[in-house]
Amino acid sequence: MKTVIEPFRIKVVEPIQMTSPEHREAALREAGFNLFRLHAEDVLIDLLTDSGTGAMSSDQWSAIMRGDESYAGATSYFHFHDRLLEITGIEHILPTHQGRASERILFEVMCKPGDIVPNNNHFDTTRANVEHSGAKALDLVIDEGRHAESTHPFKGNMDIAKLERLFEDVGREKIPLVMLTITNNSGGGQPVSLENIRAVRAVCDRHGVPFFLDACRFAENAWFIKQREPGQSNRSVREIVREQFDLCDGATISAKKDGLVNIGGVLLMRGHAIAQRASNLLILTEGFVSYGGLAGRDLEAMAQGFEEVLHEDYLHYRIYSTGYLAAKLRDAGIAIVEPAGGHAVYVDASAFCPHIPANQYPGQAVAVALYREAGIRTCEIGTVMFGGETPPAMELVRYAIPRRVYTQSHIDYVAEATIEVFKRRETLKGMRITEAPPVLRHFTARFAELE
């Protein structure tokens, strides 16, 4: 059979309702044209993020009922711990409330002012947490990863020559760790090859520097490796996942992505000394080492979610459905980041609105137009999100697909609405920021439309 179906049936439904154009206009103005400020009930199809927005399975909900809420040494903690150990082989495993809590602890333990942390592309919270520690976050993705139209199969790869040069230029003392984000969210949800992960490992070994993964979407990355990397198609996703983790010294994970849960995170480390320091910080601000700011039931949901995400029928459907939306947009002549990412399709807003320059936020203009048109919420990933000292290479609008939530007809509707907006793209207006905080401004800034 050629049709790829959702490998589940629906047991519980959540109604969604269309709003009138007048209602959406009023909601937009109230929100200062910032889609993060909308009330979710005013959104019909929510593609703001794939983070914490997935649907849990009946097995996860039943695991929740088995949650052990003991303060210390809860049975649920051991279920969570044993699952992560089995999947990753990394011996020190801390639960955290989400990915950025893992990041904050890791960078506080490892970095000092003046340090440099290289990554393919730092996600926004990762960059902010590196910088919060006083270190500098440096993006070293390969050149193909900076060009929307390149169809390189592993556009998330790190540029190994640039990494080597960095070590030569600044010296290993200034580089406390090297990170690699799999898949590379800020670069278009693009995968990193095993070959590239091995090459980064080799550089780190030569210089005696620890190597960490930002492994939020480790299973989606492994699926791409199985599909695209020579010699990998006969291996199971589980084996590939294990090799990804075998190659690193630790990882931060937001379980809100490939953990298939609505809240939760993980910090993985090899090495007793660093794990000890991280545990102390965890206790200071998150909670005891056996719950890390979560309830026992959350740990149960993660233990089950990290198992389900490795099912290959799920991954096949997951990555196929993202590609399905991408194909519809591409066929209508809309430029997207090629090839389609794992968790999201990224529309190239500069190509969509060539009449709107980067400093008038073309991505924000497209995202606002899509909400106006059809109640769809997407997210600007461009100058609004990253426009500090170093403007981003691309102006994108991200359509992130929540896991196991929307059906094919929802996605058909999203494609149709985008095509409608595309047909009248010359009418879209640039925007200006009227109010913004000093960091992570995209969450709370307010905008006005230019005339």
Site residues (CB under 6 A) for ligand F0G?
A: 49, 51, 98-100, 123, 125-126, 181, 185, 214, 216, 254, 256, 265
C-alpha Rg value of the chain to the nearest Å: 21
Beginning with the edge strand found earlier in the chain, give each strand of the sheet holding 178-181 in spatial order. Answer: 92-96, 265-269, 250-254, 211-214, 178-181
Secondary structure of the chain in HEC code, one letter for each residue: CCCCCCCCCCCCCCCCCCCCHHHHHHHHHHCCCCHHHCCHHHCCEECCCCCCCCCCCHHHHHHHHCCCCCCCCCHHHHHHHHHHHHHHCCCEEEEECCHHHHHHHHHHHHCCCCCEEEECCCCHHHHHHHHHCCCEEEECECHHHHCCCCCCCCCCCECHHHHHHHHHHHCHHHCCCEEEECCEHHHCCECCCHHHHHHHHHHHHHHCCCEEEECCCHHHHHHHHHHHCCCCCCCCHHHHHHHHHHCCCEEEEECCCCCCCCCCEEEEECCHHHHHHHHHHHHHHCCCCCCCCCCHHHHHHHHHHHHHCCCHHHHHHHHHHHHHHHHHHHHCCCCECCCCCCCEEEEEHHHHCCCCCHHHCHHHHHHHHHHHHHCEECEEECHHHHCCCCCCCCCEEEEECCCCCCCHHHHHHHHHHHHHHHHCHHHCCCEEEEECCCCCHHHCCEEEECC
* Nearest approach, Cβ of residue 212 and ligand F0G (Å): 12
For ligand F0G, which is the closer residue by CB, 223 or 422? 223
Residue closer to ligand F0G (CB basis): 60 or 254: 254
Give the nearer residue to ligand F0G in terms of CB position, either 126 or 133: 126
Of the pair 80, 167, the CB lying nearest ligand F0G is at: 80
58, two tokens = 């009946």
Nearer to ligand F0G, 167 or 399 (CB): 399
Which residue's CB is nearer to ligand F0G, number 57 or number 185?
Answer: 185
CB of 450 to ligand F0G, least distance (A): 27
| Residue 21 beta carbon to ligand F0G: minimum distance, rounded to whole angstroms | 27
In the bound state with ligand F0G, the residue whose beta carbon lies nearer, of 34 and 49, is: 49
In the complex, minimum distance from the CB of residue 379 to ligand F0G, in angstroms, rounded to a whole number: 7
What is the nearest approach in angstroms of ligand F0G to the Cβ of residue 253? 8
At its nearest, how many Å lie between ligand F0G and the CB of residue 437? Answer: 17
Q: Which is nearer to ligand F0G, 126 or 190 (CB)?
A: 126
Q: What is the Cα–Cα distance from 274 to 272, expressed in whole angstroms?
A: 6
C-beta of 392: minimal distance to ligand F0G in Å? 15
Smallest gap from residue 129 Cβ to ligand F0G (A): 9
Write down the least CB distance from residue 181 to ligand F0G, Å.
5
Closest CB 355 distance from ligand F0G, rounded Å: 28
Q: Which is nearer to ligand F0G, 49 or 196 (CB)?
A: 49
In angstroms, what is the minimal distance from the CB of 163 to ligand F0G?
A: 19
Smaller CB separation from ligand F0G, 141 or 428: 141
CB atoms closer than 10 angstroms to residue 81: 17
Q: Which residue is nearest to ligand F0G (CB)?
A: 99
Closer CB to ligand F0G, 123 or 422, in the complex: 123
The CA distance from 224 to 154, in Å, is: 9
